[in-house]
Amino acid sequence: MAELLTREAEARAKRLGLWSSATYAVLDASDPERLGRLTRSFQLVEGTVAAVGESRARLYLNFAQDWRSDFIVSVACKDEKEFAASKLDLKSLAGKRIRVRGWIEWAERADDRGNPCGADRSSA
């Protein structure tokens, strides 16, 4: 994966192929209004994680202080171990600038109280 990302960065810098098109530009996470117009599309988004939130079933990477109106990356708790295997601790990303890629969806954040993602998973 690292090699692919390096080659992508080189192609972006040289504006080669599809990377010369604004369609494939990296978008700013601090512009939720624009991102909201791009629902149901695959995008690359970059920004600084303001806070990391947890619910019973999900981790949330919030890119502003008001999670009700900002851009959020939502990760199922069951997928957290995949990131950890790649040496990426999602809970430590507050204050860090990251780039994410994936499908943009508009969703109300569920109020699923209960054991957070960090709860003991010894039975898993």
Q: Which residue has the higher pLDDT, 115 or 81?
A: 81
Structural domain includes residue 9: yes
Please tell me which residue, 120 or 16, carries the higher pLDDT value: 16
Q: For residue 42, what is the domain's CATH number? A: 2.40.50
| Chain segment 43-91, per-residue pLDDT in tens | 999 999 999 999 889 999 999 988 778 899 999 989 988 988 989 999 9
- Residue 122 belongs to some domain of the structure: no
pTM of the model: 0.78
Q: With 90 as the cut, is the pLDDT of residue 106 above it?
A: no
Could you list the residue range(s) of the whole structural domain that residue 10 is in?
Answer: 2-104
Asked if the structure places residue 93 within a domain, the reply is yes
Q: How confident is the model at residue 108 (pLDDT cuts 50, 70, 90)?
A: low
pLDDT band at 117 (very low <50, low <70, confident <90, very high): low
Domain count, the chain: 1
DSSP for 30-76, written as a single string = T-HHHHHTTTTEEEEEEEE--EEEE-SSEEEEESSS-TTTS-EEEEE
* Residue 54 falls inside a structural domain: yes
User: Does residue 21 fall inside a structural domain?
Assistant: yes
Domain assignment of residue 117, yes or no: no
Query: Higher confidence at residue 61 or residue 22?
Result: 61
**Does the residue 99 lie in any domain?**
yes
